[in-house]
Amino acid sequence: IARLNYDHCVAVSQATLSDLVKIGIDESKASVIYWGVDEVFSKDSHMGDMLLRQQLQIPSDSFLYVYFGRPGVTKGVDLLVEAAREINQRIPNSHLMLILGKEPHNLYLAICQRIKELNLRATVHLVPSASSRVELVEMLREANCIVVPSVTEGFGFTTAEACALDIPVVATRTGAIPEVISGRHLLVKPGHIHALVEGVLRAARGDYDYTSPKQFHWQMTLTAYEQLYERVSHSVSGRPLMLRESLKRISRLS
């Protein structure tokens, strides 16, 4: 990337910018513009009817912690499954729900196999990805907390989305996660099973840290890009302002 003939580089977080600078990006020609979170992820969204708990035969008084996303190598789902064994021993009425995509398929199959090997199929529930964001929100509303066990994150959509829903979050202290996390939350050491165990145990006790909610709106993202393009285009002679018009059209559609 650093070898490209660029006028300006945009990173989606301070953590990502730091990584780019390490590989040679000129920090004086770079900015941070955070991504936005879909408006359906709101603390005022529908609470749901606990139907998924009923379908999975999870008692209403059980402690339900949830992961949602894909089984990528940096997502730490394998670590969370390992942690679930000890969590179940220490919180007998706990259940883990994995709202898990099936790609990469080999990693998905590995997760399924490990759940079987650990004899966790009664308390670790694999659920297909939601068909819409509205359905996903309804599923997440049934959780007592969301767990984000990532090894690294460039932005951290799942963290930002869960926080926007005002659901408690246990997440790893890595990449951009500390930048986007807010509300009731716990940050734990990345890449460590025991850290995830202790984080979920604290969550079950209601022992969270708290910071004021952070806002990530797409309109703010679009405005920031438009302002940046105006500034950069004026510094480069003869540069057409096509992007500005494109951003305006996107803004009207959002």
Instruction: Note the pLDDT tens digit of each residue in 48-105.
Output: 666 888 889 999 899 999 999 999 999 999 999 999 999 999 999 999 999 999 999 9
Residues 117 and 200 in one domain: yes
Residues 18 and 139 in one domain: no
Identity of the amino acid at 215: Q
In a domain, residue 67? The reply is yes
Residues 121 and 184 in one domain: yes
Q: How much is the pLDDT for 177? A: 98
Q: For residue 220, what are the domain limits?
A: 9-37+216-253
| Residue 4: both structure tokens together | 């490209």
| Residue 67: both structure tokens together | 């992961």
Asked whether residue 253 carries a pLDDT value surpassing 70, the answer given is no
In a domain, residue 1? The reply is no
Residue of 41, 20, 39, 7 lying closest to 238 (CA atoms): 7
Give the DSSP letter string of 163-223. HHTT--EEEES-TTHHHH--EEEEEE-TT-HHHHHHHHHHHHTT--EEE------HHHHHH
Residues 56 and 70 in one domain: yes
The total domain count for the chain is 2
Terminus-to-terminus CA distance in the chain, angstroms?
30
Residues 186 and 243 in one domain: no
Q: Dihedrals φ, ψ of 242, to 5°?
A: -65, -40
Q: What residues does 9 pair with on adjacent strands?
A: 30
In a domain, residue 44? The reply is no
Residue of 164, 151, 144, 158 lying closest to 87 (CA atoms): 144
Place of tokens 């996660």: 177
Q: Dihedrals φ, ψ of 215, to 5°?
A: -105, 130
Instruction: Note the pLDDT tens digit of each residue in 204-244.
Output: 999 999 999 999 999 999 999 999 988 887 776 545 455 55
Instruction: Note the pLDDT tens digit of each residue in 157-177.
Output: 999 999 999 999 999 999 999
Provide the whole-model pTM.
0.89
Residue of 214, 177, 228, 191 lying closest to 43 (CA atoms): 214
Name the packing angle between helices 105-117 and 77-90 (round to 10°).
20
Residues 198 and 112 in one domain: yes
Distance of CA 171 to the CA centre of its chain: 9
In a domain, residue 103? The reply is yes
Tell me the mean pLDDT in the region 40-50: 75
Angle at the Cα of 97 from the Cα atoms of 99 and 133, rounded to 5 degrees = 35
Residues 118 and 23 in one domain: no
Residues 198 and 141 in one domain: yes
In a domain, residue 2? The reply is no
Residues 156 and 206 in one domain: yes
